[in-house]
Homo-oligomer: A and B are copies of this chain.
Amino acid sequence: MTLGALACTGNGLHRGVAGVSLDHVTRVPYDGYLGDGVDTLEGLRRQLADPSSGVVPPAAFIVEVIQAEGGVNVATAEWLRAVQEMAREHDSLFIIDDIQVGMGRTGTFFSFEKMGLDPDIVVLAKGLGGYGTPIAMVMIKPERDKWGPGEHTGTFRGPGLSFIAGAEALSFFEDDALMKDVVSKGARTDERLAAMAKKHGAIKAVRSAGMIHGVECTSGAAANKAINAAFEAGAIFSTCGPGGRVIKLIAPLTIEDDVLDKGLDILDKSLAKAS
């Protein structure tokens, strides 16, 4: 909602409310955006290495490990490491936005574990608040932290209830039970979606990581038809990605198996109607 965040978002609806020019952000195509095998970072890499290009190193590179609102696009570890390397080379900060896919969503606490990444700043929110209380967390490496205690704060930062809910949420990560469960429920969902993809002409592709799944439909209209049918049948799904073509599945990590199955059954029937 801030000017900084609106400048970063690709969402035109939200950008439009700013009322002022949203600057200081340059967008680089995401991994896979220009087709298989195209290194989407090459243009910027050359420009940054070229003292006559007029392109100066940014203060920071900010990246999602999985583009959630962007359509459940999963970047490779290689591509993410290449972003990190560019940041290091030009003394820019490397920031990972783990708001939607951190907090265990992909089967590990952070979405980028075991990828050889070492971000300067990580942003967490959503799942952190336990069951939806408002809380977010900005983790900054001590040597990068320029703020004094309480320097950037407001009346409603850190509400008490959110701290209690958040502490309880974090306690779920003390052993690996939840993460095992996420991996297993994610795989179970993958299986079901793979079967649906074979059956339903409305599905173009399926992408996932742990318990975030994207069902890319042949069109935004088909995706809409499916989620409307699902809503009538009692399940809420939303769309994302270019043209709203991708149905996004982000069930609570603690969902019971039978509830998850019920939701997938509804999706299955709804996609049949969208074909």
Which residues in A have some Cβ–Cβ distance to B below 8 Å?
1-4, 8-17, 20-21, 23-27, 29, 33-34, 40, 42-43, 46-47, 50-56, 70-71, 99, 125-126, 129, 132-136, 147, 151-157, 159-161, 241-243
Complex contacts, A29 vs chain B, CB 8 Å: 43, 46-47
Instruction: Contact check, A11 vs B242: say whether CB atoms are below 8 A apart.
Output: no
Shortest Cβ distance from residue A174 to the other chain B in the assembled complex, whole angstroms: 25
Instruction: Identify the closest chain B residue to A156 (Cβ).
Output: B134
Q: Which 6 A-B pairs have the closest CB atoms?
A: A10-B54, A134-B156, A17-B152, A2-B2, A23-B23, A52-B242
Taken together as a complex, chains A and B put the C-alpha atoms of A4 and B22 apart, in Å, by: 13
A27 and B10 form a contact (CB under 8 A):
no
Whole-angstrom distance between the alpha carbons of A29 and B134 in the complex? Answer: 37
Task: Report Cα–Cα, A40/B126, bound state, in Å.
Answer: 38
Determine the distance from Cα of A172 to Cα of B29 in the docked complex, in whole angstroms: 48
Chain B's closest residue to A18 (CB) is B152
Q: Is the CB of A155 within 8 A of B125?
A: yes
C-alpha gap A20/B20 in the complex (Å): 11
Could you list 6 A-B pairs, sorted by A, with CB under 8 Å? A1-B152, A15-B56, A23-B23, A25-B54, A26-B26, A34-B46
Are the CB atoms of A27 and B12 closer together than 8 Å? no
- 15 new A-B contacts, CB < 8 A, other than A2-B3, A40-B43, are A1-B157, A3-B4, A9-B54, A14-B151, A15-B54, A21-B23, A21-B24, A23-B24, A26-B26, A34-B43, A53-B242, A99-B155, A126-B155, A129-B156, A134-B159
A163 nearest CB across to chain B (Å): 12
CB pair B33–A55 under 8 Å, yes or no, is no
Using Cβ atoms and an 8 Å threshold, which residues of chain B touch A14? 151-152
Closest chain B residue, CB of each to CB of A152: B17
